[in-house]
Amino acid sequence: MRIAVNTRFLLASKMEGFGWYTYEVVKRLVEKHPEHDFIFFFDRPFDKKFIFGDNVTPVILNPPARHPFLFYIWFEFSVKRALKKYKADVFLSPDGYLSLKSKVKQIAVIHDINFEHNPDDIPWLMRKYLRRFFPKFAHKAAHILTVSEYSKKDICSKYSIDTSKVSPLWNGASSQFKPLHLDQKNSARLTYANGNPYFLFVGALHPRKNVGRLIAAFEQFKQENPEDQHKLVIVGTEMFGKKLNGIEISPFVRDHILFTGHVSLSDLAEIMGAASLLTYIPYFEGFGIPLVEAMKCGTPILSGNKTSLPEVAGDAAIYCDPFNIDDIREKMSYIVKNPAIQKELSQKGLKRSTLFSWDNTADEIWKVICTIAN
């Protein structure tokens, strides 16, 4: 069997959501099935570390696809020609984009459709592209993979897709995330928070991640607890070239908020393991991998109560209304002031984390590939 894969998000310089999903899943597919051939479609020069086996043929397709006009050219012309040239039996696209003109069977991974519910979160041209083409991709796909029951129901409802065509497969998290010893925590806190305990947010600074309300709630928390030493560490980068997406930080709390920008996976595992509390309160999320990373570290979680997040965190989090700043602040205080609650959340998180495995995800995806290709 010849499996073509959209690998345009495997970027050595900066791996984020789609990239890590592609890496974790496709690496396992290649290594577990050496008897099959994989063709990787890159849109720029690639790092050889992403060629996971001798059964991989890397192909660079022009133009680099990082703009809606170029998306169309890349998928409808470059990918279409390459699928025919390399005689692919199936095309797997971890970011959900497909080639509408190709006759090859295609599997789309549609993580979520936030752009349908919160269109103003996205620049105009990107919004127009996503809302025009993703319904077409959903109907074109021989099968759709998604990352939660929530997203499955959302996709099927919005795009009138039969539920039998969509498989909800939970994400995993890297094995680098694990509990830290006290000396490791102290070292990480010294490096990332000047030796102070800290709340943590991880994710792109995208409007739906709700960082503005998180910062506002943290400011209220600091005003009510002036002796508290906690900082707020924010790991992530701006989206769409917008500095903090318009988030304003008052002088009162500015010195208590630390932005790390993009960090390596090993650094992120240290930062997560040393945090007092993961404060993860997006108002829309298809899955929320930071929740699993925190659970694997035994880090307590304050989570938003919308969309997929309760499905993922289960009983291993305290929940808040992401639109209610008072509620966010109140839950922060409740967890921080109750060591017994922190211990309970940590234990429940470690137990629940065993439900999430990239190996299981990759195995289920392989079953779908075999079914669709045959």
Q: Are residues 26 and 165 in the same domain?
A: yes
At 240-251, the pLDDT tens digits run 444 555 577 888
Q: What angle (nearest 5°) sits at the alpha carbon of residue 94, between those of residues 90 and 98? A: 60
Q: ω before 282 within 30° of 0 (cis)?
A: no
Mean pLDDT across the stretch 62-84?
Answer: 96
Q: What is the mean pLDDT of residues 120-148?
A: 97
d(Cα 368, Cα 92) in Å, to the nearest integer?
10
Q: What is the pLDDT of residue 225?
A: 93
Residues 232, 217 within the same domain? yes
Same domain for 272 and 286? yes
Please indicate, yes or no, whether residues 301 and 327 belong to a single structural domain of this protein. yes
Query: Model confidence at 17, in pLDDT bands (50, 70, 90)?
Result: confident
Nearest to 201 by CA among 291, 284, 122: 291
Tell me how far apart the alpha carbons of residues 227 and 232 are, in angstroms, rounded to a whole number: 15
Pairing of strands 231-235, 277-280: unpaired
Greater pLDDT, 241 or 216: 216
Residue 177 lies in a domain: no
Whether residues 40 and 161 share a domain: the answer is: yes
Q: CA–CA distance from 104 to each of 109, 113, 145, 204, 372 (Å)? A: 16, 24, 17, 34, 10
Long-range contacts for 315-319 (Cβ within 8 Å, ≥24 apart)? 315/348, 315/352, 316/345, 316/348, 316/349, 316/351, 316/352, 316/353, 317/291, 317/345, 317/349, 318/345
Q: How many CA atoms lie within 13 A of 248 on its CB side?
A: 2
Q: How confident is the model at residue 239 (pLDDT cuts 50, 70, 90)?
A: low
pLDDT, residue 70, reads 97
Q: Does residue 17 sit in the same domain as residue 46?
A: yes
The verdict on 151 and 270 lying in the same domain is: no
The span from the CA of 249 to the CA of 254, in Å, is 6
Alpha-carbon distance values, 121 to 143, 166, 284, 374 (Å): 28, 26, 11, 40
Query: pLDDT value at position 367?
Result: 98
Q: Which residue intervals of the chain are DSSP H helices?
A: 17-32, 68-73, 80-85, 114-117, 124-140, 149-159, 182-193, 211-224, 251-254, 265-274, 289-297, 309-313, 325-336, 339-352, 358-373
pLDDT at 204: 86
Residue 242: count of CB within 10 angstroms of its CB? 13
52 and 145 fall within a common domain: yes
What is the model's pTM? 0.93
Length of the chain as a residue count: 374
59 compared with 12, residue with greater pLDDT: 59
206 and 245 in contact (C-beta within 8 Å)?
yes
102 and 66 share one domain: yes
Per-residue pLDDT tens for 79-88? 999 999 999 9
How many domains does the chain contain in total? 2
The pLDDT assigned to 66 comes to 85
CATH code of the domain in which 340 resides: 3.40.50.2000
Asked whether the beta carbons of 199 and 277 are under 8 A apart, the reply is yes
**300 occurs within a structural domain:** yes
Q: What is the pLDDT of residues 171-197, one digit of tens each?
A: 999 999 999 999 999 999 999 999 999
Residue type, 331: K
**Whole-Å CA distances, 285 to 112, 203, 210, 275:** 7, 11, 11, 22
| Interatomic CA distance for residues 169 and 109, integer angstroms | 10
| Whether the Cβ atoms of residue 275 and residue 254 lie closer than 8 Å to each other | no
Q: How high is the pLDDT of residue 253?
A: 84
Considering the chain, what is the average pLDDT of its residues? 95
List residues bridging with 4 in a β-sheet.
Answer: 39, 91
Nearest CA to 71 out of 43, 108, 103 is that of 43
Q: Is 328 within the bounds of a domain?
A: yes
Residue type, 267: D
For the packed helices 289-297 and 339-352, what is the interaxial angle rounded to 10 degrees? 110
Q: Which residue has the higher pLDDT, 374 or 161?
A: 161
CA-to-CA distance for 359 and 357, rounded, in angstroms? 5
Closest-CA residue to 209 (of 280, 267, 118, 314) = 280
Indicate if 270 and 337 belong to the same structural domain: yes
Q: What domain range includes position 347?
A: 182-355
Q: How much is the pLDDT for 242?
A: 47
Mean pLDDT (whole number) for 310-324: 98
Contact indicator for 137, 110 with CB cutoff of 8 Å: yes
278 occurs within a structural domain: yes
- Report whether pLDDT(33) > 80: yes
Whether the Cβ atoms of residue 171 and residue 361 lie closer than 8 Å to each other: yes
Rounded Cα distance between 144 and 368, Å, is 9
- One domain, residues 11 and 105: yes
**Do 195 and 116 share a structural domain?**
no
Domain assignment present for residue 219? The answer is yes
